A = this chain, B = another copy of it.
Amino acid sequence: MSRSISLAVIPGDGIGPEVVAEGLKVLAAVLPQDVKLETKSYELGAKRWHETGETLTDAELARLKEHDAILLGAVGDPSVPSGVLERGLLLKLRFAFDHHVNLRPSKLFPGVKSPLAGEPEIDFIVVREGTEGPYVGNGGSLRTGTPHEVATEVSLNTAFGIERVVRDAYARAQARPRKKLTLVHKNNVLVYAGHLWKNVFDKVGEEFPEVSTDYLHVDAATIFFVTQPERFDVIVTDNLFGDILTDLAAAVTGGIGLAASGNINPSGDFPSMFEPVHGSAPDIAGQGKADPTATVLSVALLLRHLGYTDEAARIEAAVSVDLAGRGAAAVGHRGTAGIGDALAARVSG
């Protein structure tokens, strides 16, 4: 295991810097003394775009590539046209660094209130494909702005791209007690992409005889997310369906304030990036009201990815205890920094 971590930090906009500060606090507290942590901050996001018109330069991309991992807070602001930072920064990073495993665990921690009745048991992970599907940016518009405009979006799907993420998902299912993998797609309508997904899913499954599998259409999957979420263990799905399902999963497990994610390149050829699922929430920025838990849990994913398994588990345990003691208040009187302090105290020593 490497005994040093070179971490790129993109605090971003809105509540991004606040939650990232707490994530780094907990990271520093959990790491053994002999691990050298070096962080470098990259000022990317809305402010930067307003000032320079840049979202992410090639030079920055090259420098980011040299780090072991990236921690991102949140980017975005209503003052920036929709799509600019998403395509020019967030998705650019995912595509440039080939983050094909977009990992999003969903767990209803004890003590956390779900909007679902009856205190369901929820503990699954979604493995969302991160570099293909409708996210490739392959589209266009003709006669733009006229009553005759036509706009297209092309979903691109490759056997290569699907196979690697599906295999990753099988391996994750194999390593979990229930060993269950669900493929979600819409193969009764999107027959070309859907059948490719299904065929690859079935074929790779032959390598994992212990893993039990099933298939759900995306519309049906949303039903089970609210009526029977305990049926899920690992889910593998395409980029867009994964985007939708993981927000819903976050909602039923207590909100995006708690949902962590990793944009992972398992090969290690490029740094993987970890970020809370929530956005920059400019309405509550700077008020100490943001819950840093999703960022802290993203730090745990980051550590596990870099091989610091015990440290990751310690963070998750600390979060679990903290959440159990919170009562109804999500953030409460402790505020963003107070929660970070409490978690840092719990993981250290």
Contact = CB atoms under 8 A, between A and B. Distances in A.
A256 interface: yes
A190 B149 CA distance: 16
Contact of A151 (B149, B188, B195): B195
A188 B280 CA distance: 14
Contact of A154 (B82, B152, B223): B152
Interface string A134-151: 110101110101111111
Interface stretch (A39-47, A58-66, A241-249, A287-295): A241-249
Interface residues of A, number: 66
A226 B157 CA distance: 31
Nearest to A247: B219
Q: Which of A156, A223, A243 is most buried by chain B, counting CB atoms within 10 A of its CB?
A: A223
Interface in A107-156: 114-118, 134-135, 137, 139-141, 143, 145-156
B153 A193 contact: yes
4 A-B pairs with least C-beta separation: A219-B247, A139-B192, A222-B248, A149-B159
24 contacts: A82-B188, A86-B188, A87-B188, A87-B189, A114-B117, A115-B118, A117-B117, A134-B153, A135-B189, A139-B193, A149-B158, A150-B158, A151-B193, A152-B156, A152-B157, A153-B154, A154-B154, A222-B222, A222-B248, A222-B251, A223-B256, A226-B226, A226-B252, A248-B248
